[in-house]
Structure 1
């Protein structure tokens, strides 16, 4: 039975990426060796790193003066690397979910943190608006997509201080004006590659301005100088990331991915909004197109497990909601075909008619 993979992460990868990665595991670049066992300093892998960095710059139209890094440690490592490198006295953050809250907690170890807005009061079901970012902040940090709660900021904010964004779960799903940012970071396991690598886009001139000593591995300049090769990088995820980047380019780039993602989200949200059984959990204007969160209406709540079991008979996996929200979560990352969304919508309609 064909599987329809709605897991939030690690999540679906394109067949293009899986096929090419599997081949490299057996024979990498004609070396007769697996990519799992070659030197990261070999000319074959150096070429992979160079091409991956170049494609990130091309697809996101990264301007001059920025470096693209492939690092370990996950996005959670960036929660401390960002303030370590950028926070002199005070930083501004918005609290829009679990990962934003974790980033705030880490930043407080390095200086004052001004939480300028929060949606915790309504269990993170909306994106705060009409807040003020203090002009004396060293930077303003926001999480563009909130995987657990299903809210998203699909624009580049206009503020009078440097911008930093955690784009872990929606990078490459829309064009981004990188010139507005000092740092963009994203764990790979949503829209890029298997878990194990984090992409960081950093403005070179933003670095070297803090007085504190920074441990070598946590200093962005270390990795810029060494081309993400200061220590052995996570080679397999980087190779997979390259395949995904090549695939995006072949399909037409980020604008085409956005068109596809919007179509998938519209299809599923329309089904939820017209349903007598299901209901969305997020304010409509703030809905994520990557992670669609919904629940059963109160009179049908006892059927939630039955629906998950029913969906599994259709090959649908990964739709159980996070414990913080309950219900269901369908992740519509770039690699998910619209056909899978159609199967989910049909299952919802069939289940609703049944009950």
Structure 2
């Protein structure tokens, strides 16, 4: 048996979604929520518009970009964009983790776009970006939440592209720099980097995306929740706070609280710095630890939010795949039982391993404490194998 650490993380919530609330959060932060009133009243629309305005300011969006609150979390936002805007030209779809593969399925099997090229890679790697054709529309995740692999930068995206870029940025926004001159459609949800609540998505459209929306009508029926245009024009009301369906004003208040915390924490640069520092705690631990490795092979593509890890200890690798998965499951359960870490198992479709959130709402000191518990849980697990 090995000695157990004595210092627990103050907040053991390292889930990759929903993610930890901002430091110091309590339910009192929601005390002024606009409840029991219509979201379409003057005051209700003002709260929704404030969320949009604060988002625009925090992200530093260029003039002409539109921001809207839509239903269905990031998935709803991205589906709405694909259903409304794809089909005008061929599309290149990049997939190197679960959610990217989901967009492939939607495009090929449901929208049935015949002229679709798929660029795939295994967990831990990126497709070869030089083969992406920007005369076509391009669909990809900026940060692969379930693989811990992000695009290294935006240099591979030409400024004079002909097609639109569709970017699922839900675990990258507010943590990784996005060049808005290279972005046409960007989506995210509140429950990732800012630790907000689920069910609501954010949709950001560039002027080029708006032009597509106003000059192209897709050949398939559009569900009401995906309709972004009226009579051939952008439905501007959506991007002023008049949501397509009823939002939770309690969740809106929580998002406003998160945005205010972000402003107090140094704005966008402060949030990115926090995520970088958090990830560095884990990266440094990985460098000095022989039983664990980053799932992302190329250091330039390693996520600073959803850090995905694989066990490389020879004794564990000698086990069958089922036995390795069971070992990881036991390790994760041991940490939960001790109150050291919650929800850090890898995503269900990903290789067996760990996934630890290091976004801005997590404290570096908690991650530092976590590393000692990870080492302890691993040693305990190996000891159990020998008995």
Decide whether the 8 Å contact of 1:107 with 1:113 is kept in 2. Answer: no
Does the alignment pair 1:253 with 2:255?
A: no
Report the alpha carbon displacement of residue 326 of structure 1 after superposing the two structures with TM. Answer: 1.2
Decide whether the 8 Å contact of 2:81 with 2:226 is kept in 1. Answer: no
Aligned counterparts of 1:217 and 1:320: Cα–Cα separation in 2: 33
Report the alpha carbon displacement of residue 185 of structure 1 after superposing the two structures with TM. Answer: 0.5
Aligned counterparts of 1:144 and 1:196: Cα–Cα separation in 2: 21
Decide whether the 8 Å contact of 1:170 with 1:191 is kept in 2. Answer: yes
Root-mean-square deviation (Å): 2.4
Which deviations, in whole Å up to 9, do the C-alpha atoms of 1:53-82 show, x marking residues without a partner?
A: 111111111111111101112222244322
Report the alpha carbon displacement of residue 18 of structure 1 after superposing the two structures with TM. Answer: 4.2
Aligned counterparts of 2:17 and 2:265: Cα–Cα separation in 1: 23
TM-score scaled to structure 1, two decimals? 0.87
| Structure 1 residues 155-174: aligned runs within 5 Å | 155-156=153-154, 157-159=156-158, 160=161, 161-174=163-176
Q: 1:80 to 1:308 in 2, by over 3 A?
A: closer
Decide whether the 8 Å contact of 1:173 with 1:261 is kept in 2. Answer: yes
> In structure 2, which of residues 290, 305, 319 is the aligned counterpart of residue 290 of structure 1?
305
Report the alpha carbon displacement of residue 238 of structure 1 after superposing the two structures with TM. Answer: 2.1
Which deviations, in whole Å up to 9, do the C-alpha atoms of 1:108-167 show, x marking residues without a partner?
A: 315235335210xx3x21112343233431x21110111111111252342323211001
Q: 1:339 to 1:205 in 2, by over 3 A?
A: same
SS at match of 1:77: helix
SS at match of 1:13: coil
Aligned counterparts of 1:135 and 1:22: Cα–Cα separation in 2: 44
For residue 146 of structure 1, what is the aligned residue in structure 2?
Answer: 144
> Structure 1 stretch 106-115 or stretch 158-167: which is displaced more?
106-115
Aligned counterparts of 1:128 and 1:197: Cα–Cα separation in 2: 30
For residue 3 of structure 2, what is the aligned residue in structure 1?
Answer: none
Aligned counterparts of 2:199 and 2:269: Cα–Cα separation in 1: 26
Q: 1:177 to 1:276 in 2, by over 3 A?
A: closer
Report the alpha carbon displacement of residue 189 of structure 1 after superposing the two structures with TM. Answer: 1.7
Report the alpha carbon displacement of residue 271 of structure 1 after superposing the two structures with TM. Answer: 1.0
Report the alpha carbon displacement of residue 45 of structure 1 after superposing the two structures with TM. Answer: 2.5
Does the alignment pair 1:225 with 2:237?
A: yes
Structure having greater relative contact order (Cα 8 Å, sep ≥ 6): 2
| Structure 1 residues 314-329: aligned runs within 5 Å | 314-323=339-348, 324-329=350-355
SS at match of 1:292: strand
Aligned counterparts of 2:51 and 2:89: Cα–Cα separation in 1: 35
Number of residue pairs matched by the alignment: 342
Aligned counterparts of 2:364 and 2:357: Cα–Cα separation in 1: 12
Aligned counterparts of 1:53 and 1:79: Cα–Cα separation in 2: 18
For residue 31 of structure 1, what is the aligned residue in structure 2?
Answer: none
| Structure 1 residues 1-355: aligned runs within 5 Å | 2-15=10-23, 18-24=26-32, 28=33, 35-87=34-86, 88-108=88-108, 109=111, 111-119=113-121, 122=122, 124-137=123-136, 139-156=137-154, 157-159=156-158, 160=161, 161-192=163-194, 193-203=196-206, 204-212=210-218, 214-221=222-229, 223-226=235-238, 227-229=240-242, 230-285=244-299, 286-296=301-311, 297-300=313-316, 301=324, 303-312=327-336, 313-323=338-348, 324-351=350-377
Report the alpha carbon displacement of residue 237 of structure 1 after superposing the two structures with TM. Answer: 2.0
Decide whether the 8 Å contact of 1:144 with 1:153 is kept in 2. Answer: yes
TM-score scaled to structure 2, two decimals? 0.80
Decide whether the 8 Å contact of 2:165 with 2:183 is kept in 1. Answer: yes
SS at match of 1:333: coil
Gaps of 5+ in 1: 29-34
Decide whether the 8 Å contact of 1:74 with 1:196 is kept in 2. Answer: yes
Aligned counterparts of 2:226 and 2:19: Cα–Cα separation in 1: 27
Aligned counterparts of 1:113 and 1:274: Cα–Cα separation in 2: 47
Aligned counterparts of 2:212 and 2:327: Cα–Cα separation in 1: 52
Report the alpha carbon displacement of residue 103 of structure 1 after superposing the two structures with TM. Answer: 1.1
